[in-house]
Amino acid sequence: MQTINLAAICTPADYNTRPLDTIYSNFIDALPVVKYCSENNKRLIHFSTCEVYGKTIGSFLPKDSPLREDPTYYVLKEDASPCIFGSIEKQRWSYACAKQLIERLIYAEGAENDLEFTIVRPFNWIGPRMDFIPGIDGPSEGVPRVLACFSNNLLRHEPLKLVDGGQSQRTFVYIKDAIEAVLLMIDNPVRANGHIFNVGNPNNEVTVRQLAEMMTEVYAKVSGEPSLEVPTVDVSSKEFYGEGYDDSDKRIPDMTIINRQLGWNPKTSLWDLLESTLTYQHRTYAEAIKQAIAKPVAS
């Protein structure tokens, strides 16, 4: 029998403004699951996050340093890269810290009590049906992750909001590719046990600003609607997420371990996954948003 734990509070707006709930959800509430699996000889597949890496070593180098081009300083390896978080007052790291601590507990249970486990570190899995569209199938005041945020802006013909200029760099992997990786972990316990796996696509790296530009272009193609003259607007992280936000610079996964153990590599390009995803978003939500916008406001 295998237990798969995906439960978490895991959106920036939540872990920046609800740090207590975030810590309880990702550490305290996960303890009974780990204990049960350890005491009953059940294999555990636990979903963690690429957030556990925090900031890269490269982010602390001078901006003109040639070492910033050396992958040693920014490619993230499960068994070698340090976990570097911001100060305690930056509550954005409550999520990463709780996730790291439960990883350490799981690893310790494996070392001391022979718990069979696999830890998954997702690197921005995106695709259709991810998160929610505020006010349509989720709270109007809610702030989903970046794909749904940008989709919501595109559907409403609003500029895409770039937090602190959208300079952070991220990699994105198609959900179908990621699910293939998880199925390999389930079907190959001997090769997966005791490992932490990055699951991402290092070939799909862009800045958040570049992601916004790509999504704007793809949405115009799939919807047949013209892009806004001013497609993006810069906002501060304090304005968007509130006090206590901090960010990491780059997140590029090293894929050596998962390729060696499971033979997995992602397949889908960022352009292709965005076209599939935004086609779904337009077909699913465009009409509902038009009706919501057209609805008269009660006086």
Residue with tokens 């994105």: 172
Q: DSSP letter for 252, please.
A: E
CA distance 128 to 278: 8
CA distance 296 to 280: 27
Identified catalytic residue from 95, 219, 241, 245: 95
Q: Is 95 a catalytic site residue?
A: yes
CA distance 140 to 14: 15
| Among 260, 268, 256, residue whose Cα is nearest residue 76 | 256
Q: Which amino acid is at 72?
A: T
Dig out the tokens for 105 from the structure: 């507990």
| Among 188, 199, 172, residue whose Cα is nearest residue 257 | 199
> What residues does 199 pair with on adjacent strands?
122
> What residues does 195 pair with on adjacent strands?
118
Q: DSSP letter for 295, please.
A: S
Q: How crowded is residue 80: how many other Cβ atoms within 10 Å of its Cβ? A: 9
Residue with tokens 């490269």: 58
Classify burial at 141, counting beta carbons within 10 Å of its beta carbon; exposed 0-12, middle 13-18, buried 19 or more.
exposed
Q: Where are the beta strands (DSSP E) in 83-146?
A: 117-122, 125-126
Q: Which amino acid is at 222?
A: V
Q: Where are the beta strands (DSSP E) in 200-251?
A: 205-207, 232-235
Q: Which residues are catalytic?
A: 95
